[in-house]
Amino acid sequence: MGEEGKCVEVEQQAEEINMTKPKSGHRCPICSKFLNNVSQHLRNIHRVKQAEERKILNDLASGFTVIPPGLCPVEGCNSKINYVAKHLRRHKDIPKSKIEELLESARREAAVKLLSDLRSSNPSPPMVSRLHTTSQPCDDPGCLQREEELNCLMQRVRQLEKENSDLRLRISLQTSRAGPQMTKVPSPTSDSKPSTKEEEEKEEEKEQEEGGEEKEEEKEQEEEEQEQEESQEEEEQEEEEQEEKEQEQEKESQEEVTEEEESQEEVTEEGQDEKKKGEEMVEENNQMDESEDQEQQEDQIQMFTYLGLCSQRNQTGQSDQSEDNDKPKGSDPNLACTETRTDQPFQKEYIIFLSERNR
């Protein structure tokens, strides 16, 4: 009983170990066998010597075939896209199994096209695969229905094979981590032989536990995928915000340029107005100068005319004085008065002229 208890404890410890997910295998695209190393299988078994052909087939088996941009394969969604896989995973209205089927068919079409292009180039090592040389489909509806049923069955078989391979790998890892104590199980005696029902119950419990672990792993994978999608959406939103900011900055710069141009136009208009005002002031000053020159000329003309009149009067006055001098001095008692009278009108007119000029 003590050894049996130890074995049970060892099994529980092995189940409690947080194991990493084992590396899953892939299906050969030529013979449809499920293998862990497809490239070695293609090289050694199928004798695929062409390096480019082997690379295309290996990418198709591992799911790394690049899907070219084009229309969405989902019915009703005719959007043109560059990344088909990314777009299909964002379709929430389709189950994941259907998405995987669409991705697999799209990858197969892309690989077939690459193989046909490679064959048309006449490669020096001959090609082995015949994926791109399939016959034309039959038009009989019965054949088409059977073909669809066979495809569904083949997909189901592939899924079951993957699950079985994962379970086998898990069992091998549990036995290797538990150590040699798992092998030291005592031989069952007649008293301690477990019944078949108990064994079946234990197996069912183990299967349920393994199924629960697989479900937890699937949930974790789904959460990781959701986080990745959220991060991608956030990055896209940030890029859109940056583009909007750049557009706003461009608009602001354009508005500033237009404002500067308007201010320059206003400055030029003000300069033109100032130039016009300066020209008008210069013209007014020139007119004032011309009017002043005309007034000065008129004053000079009046002065010259006045001086001519004065000179004539002086000559007439001198002639009168000479006539008076011929007379005896005592005969004219008003001689002094006549001398002063001849000078008085000249002085009066000169004073009047100066007063008018000062005005």
Q: What is the pLDDT of residues 170-210, one digit of tens each?
A: 888 888 776 555 444 444 444 444 445 566 667 777 776 76
Kindly report, residue by residue over 301-330, the tens digit of the pLDDT. Answer: 777 777 777 777 667 766 655 555 554 444
Residue 343 has pLDDT above 60, yes or no: no
Average pLDDT of span 214-239: 81
Is the pLDDT at 25 greater than 60? The verdict is: yes
- The pLDDT mean for the chain works out to 74
* The pLDDT value given to residue 184: 46
Q: What is the mean pLDDT of residues 231-247?
A: 84
pLDDT surpassing 60 at residue 211 = yes
With a cut of 70, say whether residue 358 has pLDDT above it: no
Question: What letter represents residue 91's amino acid?
Answer: H
Listed range (25-34, 36-45, 151-160, 175-184) with the worst mean pLDDT: 175-184
* Residue 5 CB neighbours (<10 A): 9
Residue whose C-alpha is closest to residue 62's, from 103, 90, 19? 103
Q: How far is CA 244 from the centre of its chain?
A: 8
Say if strands 26-27 and 34-35 run parallel, antiparallel, or are unpaired.
antiparallel
CB atoms within 10 A of CB 346: 15
- The pLDDT of 245-249, averaged and rounded, is 86
